[in-house]
Amino acid sequence: MGVIVQKFGGSSVADADKIFNVAGRIIDAYKKTDQVVVVVSAQGDTTDDLIEKAKEINTNPSKREMDVLLSTGEQITISLLSMALEKLGYPVISLTGWQVGIQTDSNNMAARIKKIDTQRINSELDKKKIVIVAGFQGINRYNDITTLGRGGSDTTAVALAAALHADICEIYTDVDGVYTADPRIIKNALKLKDVSYDEMLELASLGANVLHNRSVELAKKYNVDLEVKSSFEKIEGTKVKEVGLVEKMLVRGVARDNNVARISVVGIADKPGKAYKLFALLAKGQINVDVILQSIGRENTKDISFTVPADHLDDTLKILNDNLEVLEATEIKYSDKVSKVSIVGAGMASNPGVAAKMFEALYEAQININMISTSEIKVSVLIDEENAERAVKAIHAKFFDE
């Protein structure tokens, strides 16, 4: 057997007992193959706590310094987990992102991995050591610490699995797999045996909160076999793999994303080039735009509405307000009290009734839709955040209970 990459999330390493539990899972793998690489997140709420600490000092710190701070969370975990394995009598070494040679671009707090130097890890694996790597962090070409964006440890794990040509990348977490909906909201949600990369990508970016979406993109690109499983129970999880290899379900899951804001640019001059101008400005500002809706022009003006991640709202508003004149717009309206609820399934491409069924469920629950967007494998609606949980329940019941 070749290399196994295991990743343990923050809730799985939250305290000493949990660290020993994780050590046990690592030892199980080490007994099968002595080539084990482990990626860990910061313990429990450490990253959130660090962000709070920063705010007490400076509400607008530079992203460079935030990364110096945030990367410490994972460094704590690698050392503690290594100490646990030492105590249990196993050969182990912890490595930070820079020690491994995880090279990223310079986009602090949202850096992308460019290259991984596998030399150090391979030489430790040759010595039969268990290698514990700090997730979520890397180093840019100026030797400055970077982080990969919240939830980025998954991406570290997949990138390492790709670079080391691992047999499998196991993502251990506090849920035991990917469900048809968030099992904390939907009690009878079903665990999926498998899911395609594309479906998982939609589910991840739509707020299913199981995997970092960049990690799924990478897994797809490098064909890394992923499995999402429980850190605590020894049961089968959910496998993420090639489309052809999964059972095609009409609707695979219902996802909710509360991290969304809706923005409307009102009264834009109704002439060519305005949408281009608007979205070029946002692209330049590194704003990820999602659903876009343009109203039909009236009296020589039109409105363009779109959604962005809620944490991009302030940056977006600043860009728009600075450019009101260029855009020839009259007003910017926005709300971050919105949610995006989506259904995802590779089988829906050739099945027009699926969207209607979803809208029927929303109608029966008397939930109003603000925006709609569709792709080959998903239908998303933007609704008021206060209705989101009810919407997920109604839609899930429609597709899975009837």
Q: Is 39 in contact with 133 (CB distance < 8 Å)?
A: yes
Q: Which does 10 bind (CB under 5 to 8 A by kind): Mg ion, ligand ASP, none?
A: ligand ASP
Residue of the chain from 150, 248, 277, 393 that contacts ligand ASP (CB under 6 A): 150
Binding mask 7-46 for Mg ion (x = CB under 5 A): --x-------------------------------------
Q: What single-letter amino acid sits at 23?
A: A
DSSP code, position 365: T
Q: Which is nearer to ligand ASP, 10 or 207 (CB)?
A: 10
Q: Please give the structure tokens belonging to residue 36.
A: 């084990």
Q: Determine the interface stretch with ligand ASP among 20-28, 40-48, 100-108, 232-240 (rule: CB under 6 A).
A: 40-48
Q: Helix H segments across 195-332?
A: 197-203, 213-222, 274-284, 313-322, 324-327
CB atoms within 10 A of CB 97: 27
Find the binding residues for ligand ASP in span 99-138 (CB under 6 A). Answer: 135-136
Interaction of residue 231 with ligand ASP, rule CB under 6 A:
no
Nearer to ligand ASP, 82 or 147 (CB): 147
Q: Residue from 97, 151, 152, 237 that binds Mg ion (CB under 5 A)? A: 151
| Binding residue (CB under 6 A) for ligand ASP from 6, 21, 35, 41 | 41
Stretch that binds ligand ASP, among 53-61, 84-92, 144-152, 188-196 (CB under 6 A): 144-152
Residue 2 is given by DSSP the state -
The strand pair at 36-40 and 4-8 is best described as parallel
What are 225's strand-pairing partners?
Answer: none
- Three-state secondary-structure class, residue 143: coil
Q: Which does 152 bind (CB under 5 to 8 A by kind): Mg ion, ligand ASP, none?
A: ligand ASP
3-class secondary structure, 274: helix
* Three-class HEC string of 191-202: ECCEEEHHHHHH
Q: Report the residue from 71, 108, 146, 153 that binds ligand ASP according to the rule CB under 6 A.
A: 153
36 binds ligand ASP (CB under 6 A): no
Residue with tokens 């982080």, as numbered in its chain: 147
Binding mask 64-103 for ligand ASP (x = CB under 6 A): ---------x------------------------------
Q: How many alpha carbons lie under 13 Å from residue 323 in its C-beta half-sphere?
A: 19
Contacts of 269 (CB under 8 A, 6+ apart): 300, 301, 327, 328, 329
CA distance 173 to 166: 20
Q: Smallest distance from the beta carbon of 226 to ligand ASP, in angstroms?
A: 15
| Interface positions with ligand ASP (CB under 6 A) | 10, 41-42, 47, 73, 135-136, 150-153
Binding site for Mg ion (CB under 5 A): 9, 151
